[in-house]
Amino acid sequence: MTASFRYARTPLLRRTFVCGAKGFTLIELLVSMTFLVILMLVVTQVIGIVQRTWVRTNSRVSQFREARMAFDVISRTLSQATLNTYWENEFDPLGTDIAGEKKFKAKNYVRQSELQFVCGPTTGLLPLAAANSQNYPGHGVFFQAPLGVTKLVVAGTGDVNTENMVNLMCGRGYFVEWGSDEPFRPPFLSTLTSVPLRFRMRLMEYSPTAEMNRIYDSSLRPLVDNETGTNNGKKWFQEGETGALTSIVKDNETTASRAFTRPVAENILALIISPQQEVTGNAGNPYDIAPNYIWDSTLTINPGASASSANPQGTQHLLPPLLKVTMIALDQMGGETLSREENEELREKVLGKVGGMFQKASDFAKELEGTEDSQGELEELLLSNKLNYRVFTTTIALKQSRWSL
């Protein structure tokens, strides 16, 4: 009996074990695959968002790298601006002596400088720009600084070797210009009809060598002749073969024929220069000394500013204590958008709008940054036309302002 009982249970146990090892049903497989697909889609979407964010951030950094470097150069160079202001006797005429020579009597001490600092709308600084105002939006600035830029001297020419004179006084200027790359594109591109001219908004740098600094030109001295009423100010960067708009870099220039104006950054929409003074609390406005953004160190009163009876010489031969510098840059795609022929109307609209802005310093926030209640006019213009941009701004303290004089 015992042996037959064991034999009878063995097949039963086997059958029970086999029936308990059943697989997944079709519905279970479909449900699990659905969850897997959903999970993969979520993971893919997250990876895509991270990748796009990284690409966009990296693109913004690379797109504005050139603008950032140019802005650093402007800030560093402007901080070295100087006028070398000193005291000079002011004389009253006393007629002539028996030899016919004019006689004078010392009356007062006045500030004097042989140099000049000017800034304001570019069309007001450069006469040639006024004829094409839509191509020169924003402001320009021209000044003197001990930068030591000299021409390369070839041995045996008889010229004085100034290569190591790193502190020589040089003229320098910055402004924004719309135009093509025809003057300075490589010569071989001119023979290729498949490569069109490249039109862009460019930040231009005016950098004559110390030897060609026309601020010392005898025909322009003094900058302001009080006896004849002649004002030679600004002519040192406006006129002649060394002018800011007449000495443009060329494709065939050499060290002996180096031009003085060349592009330093592309896709720069505007440069804004605002001379300001330090204020404490609510005592006055920082832009009272240059309410129209215009500063000319040869003038006693800048346009729009108020005269002071306590200081009859005003701001003549002085640098502004502070200089707020703002630069608006477009990304590469925005620059290409404005350069296309089919977008000529958009370009004229944008450049015309920017050219009409930044005439009064008190409207700066409203035109650029906006207020708590409204969006900035320029910001609204660019965003509505899907132009990506970035604003660089800083306030530079000019150490050579010497307002104690």
Domain regions of the chain by residue span: 66-84+114-397
Q: For the segment 104-121, what is each residue's pLDDT rounded down to a tens digit? A: 888 888 899 999 999 999
Give me 59's structure tokens: 């693109």
Query: Which of left, alpha, beta for 125 (phi over 0: left; psi -120 to 50: alpha)?
Result: alpha
Query: Do β-strands 170-179 and 139-145 pair in parallel, antiparallel, or remain unpaired?
Result: antiparallel
Give pLDDT, residue 206. 96
Among 330, 62, 67, smallest CA distance to 338 is for 330
Q: Can you tell me the mean pLDDT for 171-191? A: 87
Q: What is the pLDDT of residues 2-38, one digit of tens each?
A: 444 444 444 544 444 455 556 778 888 888 889 899 9
Strands 261-266 and 200-206: antiparallel
- Kindly write down the DSSP assignment for every residue of 186-239, as one continuous string: -HHHHT-TTS----EEEEEEE---GGG-GGG-GGG-SSEETTTTEE-TTHHHHS
Average pLDDT over residues 181-190: 80
- The sign one gets for the Cα dihedral 289, 291, 296, 299 is negative
- pLDDT tens digit sequence for 327-352: 999 988 889 999 998 999 999 999 99
Stretch 169-192: mean pLDDT? 87
Higher per-residue confidence, 59 vs 10 = 59
Q: Compute the C-alpha angle 325/220/307, nearest 5°.
A: 55
pLDDT value for 20: 53
Does position 216 have pLDDT exceeding 80, yes or no?
yes
pLDDT digits (tens, 9 = 90+) for 259-271: 899 999 999 999 9
Higher pLDDT, 356 or 195: 356
pLDDT digit string, tens, across residues 70-107:
999 999 999 999 999 999 888 888 888 888 888 888 88
Q: What is the CA radius of gyration of the chain?
A: 34
The pLDDT assigned to 297 comes to 94
Higher pLDDT, 90 or 357: 357
Average predicted confidence (pLDDT) for the chain: 85
The one-letter amino acid code at 43 reads V
What are the DSSP E strand ranges found in 208-338?
A: 224-225, 230-231, 261-266, 268-276, 295-296, 322-330
The pLDDT-based confidence of 156 (bands split at 50, 70, 90) is: low
Choose the most confident range, by mean pLDDT, from 71-80, 108-117, 238-247, 300-309. 71-80
**Nearby residues of 150 by Cβ (< 8 Å), 6 or more positions away:** 162, 163, 165, 168, 209, 210, 211
Quick one: pLDDT at residue 21?
53
Record the pTM. 0.82
Q: Which comes out higher in pLDDT, residue 399 or 144?
A: 144
Q: Which of 57, 61, 80 is nearest to 69 (CA)?
A: 61
Cβ count near 360 (within 10 Å): 14
Q: Which residues pair with 119 in a beta bridge?
A: 141, 295
Whether the predicted pLDDT of 281 surpasses 90: no
326 pLDDT higher than 90: yes
Of 83, 111, 116, 91, give the one whose Cα is nearest residue 313: 111
CA distance 95 to 325: 49
Check residue 136 and give its pLDDT. Answer: 95
Residues 250 and 185: their CA atoms lie apart, in Å, by 8
Calculate mean pLDDT across residues 184-203. Answer: 82
Structure tokens at 270: 């505007």
Give the model's pLDDT for residue 15: 47
Residue 190 near residue 180 (C-beta atoms within 8 A)? no
